Amino acid sequence: MTSKRLRVRSWNVNGLRAVADKGFAEWLRASRAHVVGLQETRALPEQVPAELRAPRGWKTHFVAAERKGYSGVGLYAKRGFDEIVTSLGDAAMDAEGRVQIARFGKLWVANVYFPNGSGKDRSNDRVPFKLSFYRRLFDTLQPLRAKGGRVLVMGDFNTAPEAIDLARPKSNEKTSGFLLEERDEVRRWASAGWTDTYRHFHPSKEGAYSWWSQRFGVREKNVGWRIDLVLASEGALPFVQGASIHPDVLGSDHCPVGVELDATVLD
């Protein structure tokens, strides 16, 4: 690593093929990132445009859902992956293509697209699956975290942790993404030693959102939610030097989020 800092970015692109036509390649170059995790890619690897499937200077890895045009995650890295895991050991969860857990030297990066609990007709019938997914991932990562491993968990968590993390908390208390049981699960991760990096550096910043409804004027009015997070284990946190949200980046209903770390986190 030539830079003294390691820049890590996460972005739910709401369709990699769609964002390819909205300046994604230009953003990727301008980001100066070393690791980029994408969620909701919605494409088989062979469906990704060639210039994004293997851009010059990047190593890439994609995981697709069995259901076409649904879910999916992708990783771009300036250095090769030393190890990568894509299974949580649960067939139903693995079929949705939501997880990449990659090792770069001593740093583990979990790129994750957490399920939405809304379900059919916003009935919240997917909440049990969503919570089971959270717990399964927690248990998968727990051995790494518990022995002091340097681990980042980044992606679209589909949950706003606290009232400060969405513009209209009162009117969304029965909406998946801000249900008490969902927030309690995020708090359980925090109690176990995971740190929400953005709140670590910006504990009281209001209006900091990463997702907006696509209804007309909503993003312009900044009526949003902060549901895209980067969590750091105790072993990784001392290396984290900053956390950011990039609402000026368009092309998706989400915007990128990220962290900067001391590059010695890899050594």
Domains defined for the chain, CATH in brackets: 5-266 (3.60.10.10)
Alpha helices by DSSP H, listed for the chain, are 16-20, 24-30, 50-53, 91-94, 127-146, 180-191, 197-201
- Given this model, what pLDDT does residue 120 score? 83
pLDDT tens per residue across all 267 residues of the chain: 446 999 999 999 999 999 999 999 999 999 999 999 999 999 999 999 899 999 999 999 999 999 999 999 999 999 999 999 999 999 999 999 999 999 999 999 999 999 999 988 889 999 999 999 999 999 999 999 999 999 999 999 999 999 999 999 999 999 999 999 999 999 999 999 999 999 999 999 999 999 999 999 999 999 999 999 999 999 999 999 999 999 999 999 999 999 999 999 999
Residue 253 falls in the annotated catalytic set:
no
Residue 52 confidence (pLDDT): 93
AA letter at 116? N
Q: What are the tokens at 260?
A: 């900067």
Of 121, 125, 139, 156, which one is the catalytic site residue? 156
pLDDT per residue over 23-44, tens digit each? 999 999 999 999 999 999 999 9
At 3 the pLDDT is: 60
Structure confidence at residue 162 (pLDDT): 98
- 11-48 CB burial, b ≥16 within 10 A, e <16: bbbbbbbebbeeebeebbeebebbbbbbbbbbbeeebb
Residue 1 has a pLDDT of 45
pLDDT of residue 2: 46
